[in-house]
Amino acid sequence: MFQVRPAIFLVAESPSDSSIAGYVVAFSVDEDGEILNVAVESRSRGKGLAGQMLDATLIEMAARGVRTAFLEVRESNVAARGLYGSRGFIEIGRRRAYYCRPVEDALVMRRVLRVADGEEERSASGFADR
């Protein structure tokens, strides 16, 4: 039986005018977490905000008992791939034509948060191209 917890919504405010500078949406079910979206307002990019928000999200996931975090990212999204790579996410698969407007593959990325014996191998081999 899975235990379902509330989604994780994280919002960063700009210190100058309290406008929304960025956000993260994620959720967890049992030992799996999924990052649904990370976005930073264009003027606030390149200052480490997304990295800080992602770190906080992964800490919250770990506190919930999540062992493995997953996400999908457009193959052409260099900035997001840089972000996720900087936080230890590795590419484990591809969902073909996952996105529309424009049609594009998604890369599936994974980060193991707490590795138990054999966990790394089991998670990697369990993913099938879908």
Among 8, 12, 26, 50, binds ligand COA (CB under 6 A): 50
Q: Which stretch binds ligand COA (CB under 6 A): 12-20, 36-44, 94-102, 116-124?
A: 36-44
A 10 A CB-CB count for 73 gives: 23
Q: Dihedrals φ, ψ of 100, to 5°?
A: -120, 170
Alpha-carbon distances of 120 from 30, 108, 110, 126, rounded to whole Å: 17, 16, 10, 10
Which residue, 103, 104, 74, is CA-closest to 91?
74
The site for ligand COA, by CB under 6 A, has a size of 19
Which residues, numbered 51-110, are part of the site for ligand COA (CB under 6 A)? 51, 73, 77-80, 82-83, 86
**Are 19 and 53 spatial neighbours (Cβ–Cβ below 8 Å)?**
no
**Residue 65 Cβ vs ligand COA, minimum distance, rounded to whole Å:** 24
Of the pair 49, 62, the CB lying nearest ligand COA is at 49
- Interaction site with ligand COA (CB under 6 A): 37-40, 45-51, 73, 77-80, 82-83, 86
